[in-house]
Amino acid sequence: MADACKGGMCVGQQLGDGTDCDDGNACTMHDACSRGMCVGQPRICDDGLDCSIDFPCDPVTGCGHDISRCPCATDADCDDHDACTGRETCDVATGTCHPGTRLDCGDGNDCTNDPCLPREGCKHVDKFQKCSFDSVKCSVPGSTPPSACAVDPKTIRQLVKRATNLIGKSAENRRFKRTMRAQKLLESAQNLGSISDACKNKLTDIDSRIDDWLKMTDCPPAPR
């Protein structure tokens, strides 16, 4: 007779104790022959989630669980659809959600407001309209040259210092002529071959702000 397992019976000379078999019961596991019988260890229907309901084992369908009361089964279940709160995750072992790390939108620029919008995330918005004197003044606070130029040659530092002084005065007195003179000094500094990349990039940014300020259609016309 061929080796077989019928109705929980281990049949055949080859099916000795410990031989794998299937007793046909979904509520047992690790089935093996023992003294001519196919027996298995009881299956425990506990999914480890405190929030779920574990149903009694059904010999045909096996274990059943109701996780409808659990906060989550995947990370997607924990998503609060707020870009500012970071990425939420699900602890599958306990069925609980863990919050993400809230975004820090600060860009280190005193001239910008850095809000976080739930749908878009971090935004960096100029505190002042580009046409305002304050926008230029914020580019170079007071009359202090940018730190990016601190290690550049004396000739460049002198040009930048004169330009920043003019920018500070023009912002305080609302005089366009001084700002335009400052722009020319900045351009002269940028054209010197000994200028560092860091300083040149900073002066380019300041020059661009001044240029936008003077040329935008909603700005006061630049004096001739």
Give residue-wise pLDDT tens across range 83-126.
Answer: 999 999 998 877 888 899 999 998 777 778 889 999 889 998 87
Give residue-wise pLDDT tens across range 184-219.
Answer: 888 888 888 888 998 988 888 888 777 766 665 455
Burial of 105 (C-beta count, 10 Å sphere; 0-12/13-18/19+):
middle
Percentage of the chain with pLDDT > 90? 12
pTM given for the model: 0.42
* Nearest-angstrom CA–CA distance, 63 and 43: 8
Residue 223 has pLDDT above 50, yes or no: no
What pLDDT does 222 receive? 46
Residue 151 has pLDDT above 50, yes or no: yes
| In 48-108, beta strands by DSSP E | 53-58, 62-66, 89-91, 96-98
* Nearest-angstrom CA–CA distance, 186 and 76: 52
* Residue where the block lists tokens 């003077």: 214
